[in-house]
Amino acid sequence: MIVLETERLIVRYLTTGDAEFILELLNDPSWLKFIGDFGVRTLEDARNYIVKGPIQMYEREGFGLNLTARKADAVPIGICGLIKRDTLEDVDIGFAFLPRYWGKGYAFESASAVIEYGTHSLRLKRIVAITAPDNHNSAKLLERLGMRFERMIRLSPEHKESRLFSIDF
């Protein structure tokens, strides 16, 4: 299902057909460093992640992490979407792109459209984001999206501290 389109990008639901791309993204050094090691090592692991993560969230919440693909050639470049976690009261925005597609404004283009979708279609009054304290690329993007640093939080006692950004509508 297509969630939204921007000038250069298509943002759509992930399917198990995206396993190859997810396998690459979840093993990229930037994902492992700033998001974590989800232990996804094979195409089968990637398919399981897609089904138990994003697809389950589409079914439960009506939204979730989406695939972002380039309109011109349909090449998948990243993921971007809204997440409802048990550990956070508010819906948060998440994004990750393969490094070869950084520095082109793709993350900003899809994340701003996802925020617009969240406020207009889902009628969210507040969106938050959590990011590792040393993830400067992510903080820079969140600020360009109009989000402001609010406080440090810990999602659970096992988690390290993260920075919580927010925007209210």
Ligand X SMILES: CC(C)(COP(=O)(O)OP(=O)(O)OC[C@H]1O[C@@H](n2cnc3c(N)ncnc32)[C@H](O)[C@@H]1OP(=O)(O)O)[C@@H](O)C(=O)NCCC(=O)NCCS
146 lies in the binding site for ligand X (CB under 6 A): no
* 13 versus 31: smaller Cβ distance to ligand X: 31
153 lies in the binding site for ligand X (CB under 6 A): no
Query: Contacting ligand X (CB under 6 A), which of 54, 81, 135, 164?
Result: 135
* 36 versus 44: smaller Cβ distance to ligand X: 36
DSSP assignment of 41-70, as one string?
-SHHHHHHHHIIIIIHHHHHHS--EEEEEE
Query: Contacting ligand X (CB under 6 A), which of 58, 137, 149, 153?
Result: 137
Contacts for 112 with CB less than 8 Å, ≥ 6 apart: 145
> Amino acid letter at 123?
R
Tell me if 70 sits within 8 A of 100, measured CB to CB.
Answer: no
Query: Contacting ligand X (CB under 6 A), which of 6, 12, 34, 153?
Result: 34
Binding mask 74-93 for ligand X (x = CB under 6 A): --------------------
Distance of alpha carbon 29 from the chain centroid: 16
Tell me if 114 sits within 8 A of 121, measured CB to CB.
Answer: no
Binding site for ligand X (CB under 6 A): 30-31, 34-35, 95-97, 102-108, 131, 135, 137-138, 141
